[in-house]
């Protein structure tokens, strides 16, 4: 049972962080040489080794694989520390350049607003899956939070869920319900992100049509942009008609809790 426990933990850490499984194996090897073993010592050792690997070793090695850690600025940041601690914040240099340009322009025209990102890619190896996503495996894709209004009706950088995912801007009665269409076709997973919120917060927020539209338009100004995934009813509601805005297909998950951005 102990071997099975360690094996499951290695697999789980690898799925979530890419490097966590390797660090855990290293921790087990080092821990064998420690006297008076306790859970606290083992946990502290793992966190220490993992932090060194995540914040020092990995950013140094990632460029060998053509990726770099997203450089946060006053107008560009991760929604939560999790995305940085789990190494899910790596992109190609070209995507970093696009994020820098878009965040600066968006903030310039929308005072005090930031570009808030969610999952990007892992630091190493193309085709290594970043679950639960289908395509975040080459450093060319990133999820961007939608934009919201606070209780005063002003633009805010706050989001309605802890993870940044799973709180949807549902279609109105008059708008096309793509979720219902996909589920009727047997794609049960289409609204799966509702289980990934990790809790809801800032419940007074409301979706900003103008704020989200302006953000998408800023992305569309970049020649290196390849695709934007956004739910069909939001595309219609926000009057977005650019051919780079695509429907992601029923085999993916709904995109009315975030925008998916990718480069060529």
Q: What is the pLDDT of residue 111?
A: 86
The order of strands in the sheet holding 258-263 is 76-78, 115-117, 141-145, 258-263, 225-229, 245-246
Pairing verdict, β 155-156 and 148-149: antiparallel
Q: For residue range 236-262, list pLDDT tens digits in order.
A: 999 999 999 999 999 999 999 999 999
Instruction: For the beta carbon of residue 170, count every other beta carbon within 10 angstroms.
Output: 14
Q: Yes or no: say if 180 and 233 are a contact pair by the CB < 8 Å rule.
A: no
What is the DSSP track for the chain? -HHHHHHHHHHHHHHHHSSHHHHHHHHHHHHTT-SS--HHHHHHHHHHHHHHIIIIIHHHHGGGGT-EE---BTTEEESSHHHHHTT--EE-HHHHHHHHHHHHHHHHHSTT--EEE---B-SS-TT---TT-SS--SS-EEEEE--EE-TTS-EES--SBSSS-S------TTS--HHHHHHHTT-GGGGGGGG--SSB--TT-EE-HHHHHHHHHHHHT-TTEEEEE--HHHHHHTT---TTEE---TTS---SSEEEEEE-
pLDDT band at residue 105, thresholds of 50, 70 and 90?
very high
Q: Yes or no: say if 249 and 187 are a contact pair by the CB < 8 Å rule.
A: no
Q: What is the pLDDT of residue 263?
A: 96
Of 29-43, 46-60, 70-84, 137-151, the range with the lowest mean pLDDT is 29-43
For 112-139, give one letter per residue: b (16+ CB within 10 A) or e. Answer: ebbbbbbbbbbbbeeeeebebbebbbbb
Q: What is the pLDDT of residue 35?
A: 81
Q: What is the pLDDT of residue 211?
A: 96
* pTM assigned to the model: 0.94
- What is the set of domains in the chain, with CATH numbers? 2-63 (no CATH), 68-263 (3.30.1380.10)
Q: What is the pLDDT of residue 34?
A: 84
Q: For residue range 146-182, list pLDDT tens digits in order.
A: 999 999 999 999 999 999 999 999 999 999 999 999 9
Q: Yes or no: say if 106 and 115 are a contact pair by the CB < 8 Å rule.
A: yes
């Amino acid at each position: 049972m102990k071997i099975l426990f360690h094996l499951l933990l290695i697999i789980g850490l690898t799925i979530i962080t890419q490097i966590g499984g390797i660090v855990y194996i290293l921790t087990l090897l080092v821990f064998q040489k420690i006297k008076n073993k306790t859970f606290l010592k083992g946990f502290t050792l793992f966190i220490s080794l993992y932090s060194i690997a995540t914040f020092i070793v990995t950013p140094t090695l990632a460029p060998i694989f053509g990726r770099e850690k997203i450089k946060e600025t006053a107008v560009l940041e991760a929604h939560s520390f999790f995305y940085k601690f789990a190494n899910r914040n790596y992109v190609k240099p070209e995507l970093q350049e696009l994020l820098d340009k878009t965040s600066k322009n968006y903030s310039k025209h929308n005072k005090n607003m930031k570009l808030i990102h969610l999952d990007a890619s892992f630091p190493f190896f193309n085709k290594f899956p970043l679950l639960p996503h289908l395509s975040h495996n080459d450093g060319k894709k990133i999820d961007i939070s939608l934009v919201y209004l606070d209780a005063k009706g002003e633009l805010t950088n706050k989001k309605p869920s802890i993870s940044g995912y799973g709180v949807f801007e549902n279609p109105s009665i008059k708008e096309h319900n793509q979720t219902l269409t996909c589920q009727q076709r047997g794609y049960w997973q289409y609204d799966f992100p509702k289980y990934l919120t990790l809790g809801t917060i800032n419940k007074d927020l409301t979706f900003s049509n103008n704020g989200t539209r302006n953000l998408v338009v800023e992305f569309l100004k970049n020649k290196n942009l390849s695709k934007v995934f956004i739910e069909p009813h939001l595309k219609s509601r926000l009057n977005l008609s650019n051919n780079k805005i695509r429907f992601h297909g029923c085999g993916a998950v709904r995109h009315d809790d975030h925008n998916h951005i990718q480069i060529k």
